Amino acid sequence: MFPYCTDPSTLEGLSWLSCYLTTSKHMMLFYSLGTVLLLLAITAPTALAFGFLGATSAKSHFAPLRWIGKTYIAIVRGVPDIAFFLFFVIALDQLFEWVRHEIKCPDWDQPIRQGNDFVVCAAAKLPLGDAPQWVHEVYGFSLAVLTFAIVFGAFAANVLFGAMRAVPHAQMETAYAYGMSKRQAFWRVLVPQMWVYALPGLSNLWMVLIKATPLLFLLGVEDIVYWARELGASKTPRFTDYPHPDWRMWYFLGLLVFYLLFTRLSEIVLEKIMRRLSHGQATAAGEAMRRADA
Amino acid sequence: MKKLILTTTALALTAGMALADTVRLGTEGAYPPYNFINDAGQVDGFERELGDELCKRASLTCEWVTNEWDSIIPNLVSGNYDAIIAGMSITDERKEKIDFTQPYTLPDPSAYVALSADVDLTNAVIAAQANTIQASFVAAAGAQLVEFATADEALAAVVNGEADAVLADKASLVDQVTSNDQLVFLEKEELIGGGIGMGLRKSDAELRGQFDAAIQSMKDDGTLNALITKWEIGATF
Amino acid sequence: MSCWQTIQDYGLRSIGIGERLLPKTDFTLCHQVTLIGSGMLWNIYFGIVALLAGFFLANALAVAKNSGSAWFRKPAEWFIFVFRGSPLFIQFFFGYFLFLSLKKLVPAAAPFTDAWLGALVVLFFNTAAYSAEIFYGALRTVPKGESEAADAYGFSGWKKFRRIIWPTSMRLAWPAYTNEAIFLFHATTLVFFSGFPAWRQEGDALYYASYFAEKTFNPFIPYPILAGYFILLTLIVVGVFGLINKRLNRHLPQEHRRKIRLRLRLIR
C-alpha cells in the first residue's frame, strides 16, 4: 500500500503495523465491513416491505389471508432465530431448485431425494453449473438477504401490526365520517399515522438487525467473522511477509468496537427521528413537546 | 429492433458457451502448504501451482473458489464448483459421495504434535480438524477427540493447552513446529489415507479423465515431483 | 435397532454418556429426535444458570445505574452499554479468545475456555446487562406515591428499598423480564457456533440439528424437531414466570394485576 512497504522484514513498530493492516488480504476484511453495510441497506427496506405485507394481511378481513399473516408473525416467536437462519438458507435454495426442476424438466423420473442427496436436473441448478463465479457469490448473498428479510419481516410485521392497532380509533372514525372509503382511510390516515407508534419498535428492530449481521458467517458468506478468524490466526514466516502469533482476540475486540460505535451512532440518529415524528402527535411525547414549546 | 435483440441473444449464447469451459476449483485456503490465502488475498500454495498447471495441460480455463472445509463436499455435489483440490485424502467413505482422480501425492503419514514429547496418547485429548481422516481415526481409536473447523484452530488448541496433541498431515505441521520451539513432533505416526486426489462429481467422468491424464503427464515428466519438493509436501513419486 | 435402544445410546450423548460415535449413516427419525433432545440439556443448563446468576447482578447494576454517585453510575452504564450494544455472537468469540490468553497468564483460568464455564460467563454478563436495563426502567417508574407512603410510615434507606421500592419495581419489570428469559434461552443456541469447541461432539440442540442437516442434506426434519423442542421450552418458561408473576401481584385487586404480554426481543 505505502511505498515503504516493499520489504516488510525491515520494518518495525507503527510503520510495520501500517503496512500489515493495508495488505490486500486486510482489504478483504474492510470490504466485508462494507458487505455488512450493504446487507443492512438492502435488508432493512425489504424486511419492512415483508413486514408491511404481513401486518396488512394479519389485519385483513379475508380469513385465510389473516391466518397466513398471523402464522407468519407467530411462527418466529417460539423458536431461536439462528435456527431459522440455518434452516432457510438451505430450504430456500432447495425450494427454488425444486420449482425450476418441476418447470424445466417435466420428464425427469428419478426421485429428488436420493438417500442423502438432493438431486435436480442440471438445467434447474441455481445458479447454473457453468455460471461465472460472481453469479455464485451474488446468488449466495441474495439467499442470505432473503433469509434475513423473511425473519426480520416477521418481527417488523409484529411491530407494524401493533402500531396499526395503536392509532386512535377516533382518527379512523373521523376519516369515515368525512366519507372516505375503507381503502382511502387505510392509506391516507392509518398508514401515515402508524409510524410514530411503530418507530420505537422499529428502532429496536434496527439495532437487533445490526447485531444480527455477524450471523452472515453461519450462512456461508465470507464475512467479517471469517476474515477476523483467518487474519488473526498465527502465521509463520514461510507463507506470509507479516508473521505474527495468535491475534484473534484483538481482531474480535476490533469487531466489538466497530459494532459499539455503529449501534451508538444509530441510537443518536433514531432519537433525532423520533423527536421529529413525535411533533404534533397525540402521544405522551408529542404532548410533552407541545407543552415545552408553549 | 427485433434483429438487434436477436443478435444480443446470440452473443449471450456464445458467451455462455465460452463460459462452459471455465472449471471452478474449490479449495479451503487455510491449509498451508497445500493451499492458503497469501498476503495479496489470492489462493496460493502447492495446490494452486498444481491446479494451474493441470488446467494448462488440459487446456481448461480455471477459476479458484474458496469454501470452508466443513461443507466442501456438499457444495461440490450441489454444483458450487466443479472440482475439489484441497488436500483431500482419498478414502472409501468419500468415494461413496464423489469420485477422485489418481492421487497426486504419496500417502503422507499423519503426525502428532504436542507441547512435550512424553504425552500419553492412550488417554490424551487429541485435536483434529472436523471431517478429516484424522478426526475419524481418532474417534474410531477411542481417544478423546476434539474437533475444530480449521487446521489452524486445531493446532492453536495445542498451543493454548486446550488439547494435549493434534493429529494432522505431517506436511501441514512441519512449518508451525519449526517456527514455534514449544511444539514437538511425537515419534508415533499414523499411516492413514491413500494419498491426496482431486474430488469430482460422479457425473463428471469426462472432466475427471482430463485431470487424470494431466496428472499422469506431470508425473511422467517429473514436474509433479519438482512441485512436491518445492513445497515440502513429502515423498516424491 | 429399536428406538428404545437409540434413546439408551444417545439420550445423554450431549454430556458424554452413552455411545461414543455419532450415527454416520441410516439416520432415523428416532436418532434425530433423541440427539437433538439430548442437546437441549445444554440449552437448559446455560439458560437456567445464567438467568439465576444474572438476576442478582442485574439488580445490583440497576441500582448502581440509578444511583446519584458517578462512581457507581458510570461503570454500570458502561457495562450495560458494552453488552447491549454489541452482538452476542462477537462477544462469544471475543470471550473465548480472551479466556485463552488469560489461561497463558493464569493457569487457574483454564476451565473458562470450556463452553460450560466460559460461554456461561458471557451469557451471564449479557443477560445481566439486558435485565439491568429492564430493572432500571422499572425502578424509574415506581409510583411516587408509594415512595412517599413509605416515608410516611417511617421507612427509610435499606428497609424502604427492600420492602417497598424493590418489590414494586419487580412487579413492574416482570413482563419484560419474562421476554428476556425466553430470548436468553434462544440465545444459548449460539454457543457452539462461536469458537467454543464441542468436546467429543458434545453440543447443544442446534449443534446436532445442523449436524443432521449437513449429513442428510435435508433441513426439513431436524430443524422442525428443534423448533418443537424450543416451543415446548418457551411454554414452560412462560408458565413458570406466569406463576411468579401471579405471586408478585397476589395482593392487588383482580383488575389491577398485570398480565404478561409476550413481546419480541429477538437476537441480541
Q: Which uninterrupted H or E stretch holds A117?
A: strand A117-118
For residue range B47-93, list pLDDT tens digits in order: 999 999 999 999 998 889 888 888 888 888 877 788 999 999 998 88
With CA atoms as reference, report the closest residue to A87 among C254, C210, B108: C210
For residue range C162-202, list pLDDT tens digits in order: 988 999 999 989 888 988 898 899 899 999 888 788 777 78
**Same-domain status, B199 and B101:** yes
| Contact flag A83-C227 (C-beta cutoff 8 Å) | yes
pLDDT of residue A114: 67
Helices (H) and strands (E) in chain A, counts: 11, 2
pLDDT of residue B9: 34
A177: contact with C, CB 8 A cutoff: no
A212: contact with C, CB 8 A cutoff: yes
Classify burial at B110, counting beta carbons within 10 Å of its beta carbon; exposed 0-12, middle 13-18, buried 19 or more.
Answer: buried
What is the DSSP-derived secondary structure letter of residue A110? Answer: S
**Same-domain status, B68 and B89:** yes
pLDDT of residue C261: 61
Across chain B, the runs of DSSP E, i.e. the strands, are: 22-27, 30-31, 35-37, 43-44, 61-66, 83-84, 99-100, 110-114, 125-129, 144-148, 165-169, 184-190, 199-200
Q: Which of A271-280, B174-183, B213-222 has the highest mean pLDDT?
A: B213-222
B61 touches B24 (CB < 8 A):
no
Cβ under 8 Å to A: B residues 16-55: 16, 19-20, 22, 24, 29-30, 32-33, 36-42, 44-45
SS3 state of residue B124:
coil
For residue range C25-81, list pLDDT tens digits in order: 778 889 999 999 999 999 999 999 999 999 999 999 999 999 889 999 999 999 999
The rounded mean pLDDT for chain C is: 87
Q: Rounded to 5 degrees, what angle do the CA atoms B26, B51, B102 make? A: 90
**Same-domain status, B76 and B184:** no
What is the DSSP-derived secondary structure letter of residue A236? Answer: -
Of C20, C21, C103, the CB nearest to B160: C103
Give the distance, in angstroms, between the CA of residue B79 and the centroid of all CA atoms in the same chain.
Answer: 18
Length of chain A: 294
Cell of C111: 476451565
Euclidean distance between CA atoms C152 and A13, whole angstroms: 66
- Count of CB atoms within 10 A of residue C259's CB? 8
Of B24, B39, B63, the CB nearest to A23: B39
Q: How would residue B1 be classed by pLDDT, with cut points 50, 70 and 90? A: very low
Q: Rounded to 5 degrees, what angle do the CA atoms C5, C7, C12 make? A: 130
With CA atoms as reference, report the closest residue to C180 among C74, C71, C77, C262: C262
pLDDT of residue C258: 61
Cell of C34: 433423541
Euclidean distance between CA atoms A213 and A248, whole angstroms: 19
SS3 state of residue A244:
strand
pLDDT of residue A255: 94
For residue range B63-74, list pLDDT tens digits in order: 898 888 888 888
| Contact flag C193-A205 (C-beta cutoff 8 Å) | no
Beta-bridge mates of residue B184: B114
C197–chain B nearest CA distance, Å: 7
B81 touches B65 (CB < 8 A):
yes
A165-171 contacts at long range (C-beta below 8 A, 24 or more positions apart): A166/A194, A166/A197, A167/A193, A167/A194, A167/A197, A168/A282
Assess if residue C99 is contained within a domain. yes
Q: How would residue B16 be classed by pLDDT, with cut points 50, 70 and 90? A: very low
Euclidean distance between CA atoms C195 and C202, whole angstroms: 14
Q: How would residue C256 be classed by pLDDT, with cut points 50, 70 and 90? A: low
pLDDT of residue A256: 95
pTM equals 0.85
> Which residues of chain C neighbour A228 with C-beta distances below 8 Å?
93
C105: contact with B, CB 8 A cutoff: no
With CA atoms as reference, report the closest residue to B84 among B92, B71, B96: B71
pLDDT of residue A129: 65
The domain containing residue C66 runs over which residues? 3-256
Residue C234 one-letter amino acid: T
**Same-domain status, B46 and B77:** yes
A76-79 contacts at long range (C-beta below 8 A, 24 or more positions apart): A76/A151, A76/A154, A76/A155, A77/C234, A77/C262, A77/C264, A78/C227, A78/C230, A78/C231, A78/C234, A78/C235, A79/C186, A79/C226, A79/C227, A79/C230, A79/C231
Residue A140 one-letter amino acid: G
pLDDT of residue B3: 36
**Residue C16 dihedral angles phi and psi, to the nearest 5°:** 85, 15
> Which residues of chain A neighbour C268 with C-beta distances below 8 Å?
208, 211
- Residue C150 vs residues A39, C66, C160, C162, C164: alpha-carbon distances, Å: 53, 19, 6, 11, 7
CATH code, domain with B140:
3.40.190.10
A165 touches A56 (CB < 8 A):
no
B18 pLDDT above the threshold of 60: no
Q: How would residue B4 be classed by pLDDT, with cut points 50, 70 and 90? A: very low
Domain residue spans in chain A?
Answer: 3-293
The DSSP string of A177-200 is HTT--HHHHIIIIIHHHHHHHHHH
Angle between helices A24-58 and A63-75 (to 10 degrees): 140
Assess if residue C266 is contained within a domain. no
Angle between helices A224-232 and A248-278 (to 10 degrees): 150
| Contact flag C189-A253 (C-beta cutoff 8 Å) | no
With CA atoms as reference, report the closest residue to B31 among B146, B183, B134, B138: B134
Assess if residue B237 is contained within a domain. no
Q: Lowest mean pLDDT: which of B5-19, B21-35, B139-153, C114-128?
A: B5-19
Beta-carbon contacts of residue C154 (< 8 Å; ≥ 6 apart): none
**Same-domain status, B79 and B57:** yes
**Residue B166 dihedral angles phi and psi, to the nearest 5°:** -120, 140
Euclidean distance between CA atoms A62 and A263, whole angstroms: 40
Of A118, A230, A246, the CB nearest to B37: A230
Cell of A287: 404532548
With CA atoms as reference, report the closest residue to B152 among A20, A235, C94: A235
pLDDT per residue, tens digit, chain A (294 aa), is 677 887 777 777 888 888 888 888 888 899 888 888 888 999 999 999 998 988 888 888 888 888 887 777 777 666 788 888 888 888 888 888 888 888 888 877 777 776 666 777 777 777 776 677 778 788 888 888 898 888 888 888 888 888 888 888 888 899 999 999 988 988 888 888 888 888 888 888 888 889 888 888 887 777 899 889 888 888 888 888 888 888 889 999 999 999 999 999 999 999 898 888 777 776 667 777 777 776
pLDDT of residue B57: 92
Beta-carbon contacts of residue B145 (< 8 Å; ≥ 6 apart): B126, B127, B128, B135, B138, B139, C200, C201
The rounded mean pLDDT for chain B is: 83
SS3 state of residue B21:
coil
Render the burial of A102-134: b for 16+ CB within 10 Å, e for the rest: eeeeeeeeeebeeebebbbbeebbbbbbbbeee
With CA atoms as reference, report the closest residue to B94 among C24, A103, A232: C24
**Residue B26 dihedral angles phi and psi, to the nearest 5°:** -95, 130
Beta strand B144-148 with B125-129 is: parallel
Assess if residue B236 is contained within a domain. no
B129 pLDDT above the threshold of 70: yes
Assess if residue B142 is contained within a domain. yes
Domain count across chain C: 1
Euclidean distance between CA atoms A58 and A163, whole angstroms: 13
Of B71, B153, B179, the CB nearest to A220: B71
**Same-domain status, B148 and B75:** no
| Contact flag B19-A24 (C-beta cutoff 8 Å) | no
Q: Which uninterrupted H or E stretch holds A102?
A: helix A81-104
pLDDT of residue B6: 34
Segment C125-129 mean pLDDT: 95
In chain C, whose CA is at the least distance from the CA of A86? Answer: C210
SS3 state of residue B104:
coil
Give the distance, in angstroms, between the CA of residue C252 and the centroid of all CA atoms in the same chain.
Answer: 29
The domain containing residue B10 runs over which residues? 2-106+195-231
Assess if residue C74 is contained within a domain. yes
C260–chain A nearest CA distance, Å: 15
With CA atoms as reference, report the closest residue to C225 among A114, A83, A116: A83
Beta strand B35-37 with B43-44 is: antiparallel
| Contact flag C230-A83 (C-beta cutoff 8 Å) | yes
Assess if residue B149 is contained within a domain. yes
Cell of B98: 464423489
Euclidean distance between CA atoms A192 and A177, whole angstroms: 18
C201–chain B nearest CA distance, Å: 7
**Same-domain status, B20 and B119:** no
B96: contact with A, CB 8 A cutoff: no
**Same-domain status, B178 and B128:** yes
With CA atoms as reference, report the closest residue to A232 among C90, C171, B102, B17: C90
Cell of A124: 434447474
| Contact flag B22-A238 (C-beta cutoff 8 Å) | no
C113 pLDDT above the threshold of 70: yes
**Residue C201 dihedral angles phi and psi, to the nearest 5°:** 55, 35
Assess if residue C137 is contained within a domain. yes
Euclidean distance between CA atoms B208 and B202, whole angstroms: 9
> Which residues of chain A neighbour B40 with C-beta distances below 8 Å?
23-25
A132: contact with B, CB 8 A cutoff: yes
C120–chain B nearest CA distance, Å: 18
In chain C, whose CA is at the least distance from the CA of A159? Answer: C264
Q: Which uninterrupted H or E stretch holds A27?
A: helix A24-58
Assess if residue C182 is contained within a domain. yes
CATH code, domain with C81:
1.10.3720.10
**Same-domain status, B102 and B217:** yes
**Residue B146 dihedral angles phi and psi, to the nearest 5°:** -130, 130
Q: Which of B96, B147, B180 best tests the C interface by mutation, with the highest count of C CBs <10 A?
A: B147
The DSSP string of chain C is --HHHHHHHHTTGGGT-S-SSPP-SS--HHHHHHHHHHHHHHHHHHHHHHHHHHHHHHHHHHHHHT-S-HHHHHHHHHHHHHHHHS-HHHHHHHHHHHHHHHHHH-GGGGGGGSIIIIIHHHHHHHHHHHHHHHHHHHHHTS-HHHHHHHHHTT--HHHHIIIIIHHHHHHHHHHHHHHHHHHHHHHGGGGGGTT---BTT---HHHHHHHHHHHHS-TTTHHHHHHHHHHHHHHHHHHHHHHHHHHHTTTS-GGGPPPP--------
Segment C113-119 mean pLDDT: 89
C93 touches A215 (CB < 8 A):
no
A3-293 is a CATH 3.40.710.10 domain: no
Q: Which of B146-155, C114-123, C190-199, C212-221 has the highest mean pLDDT?
A: C114-123
Q: How would residue B13 be classed by pLDDT, with cut points 50, 70 and 90? A: very low
Percent with pLDDT over 90 in chain B: 31
Give the distance, in angstroms, between the CA of residue B158 and the centroid of all CA atoms in the same chain.
Answer: 22
**Residue B36 dihedral angles phi and psi, to the nearest 5°:** -160, 165
pLDDT of residue B123: 80
Assess if residue C178 is contained within a domain. yes
For residue range C84-102, list pLDDT tens digits in order: 999 999 999 999 999 988 8
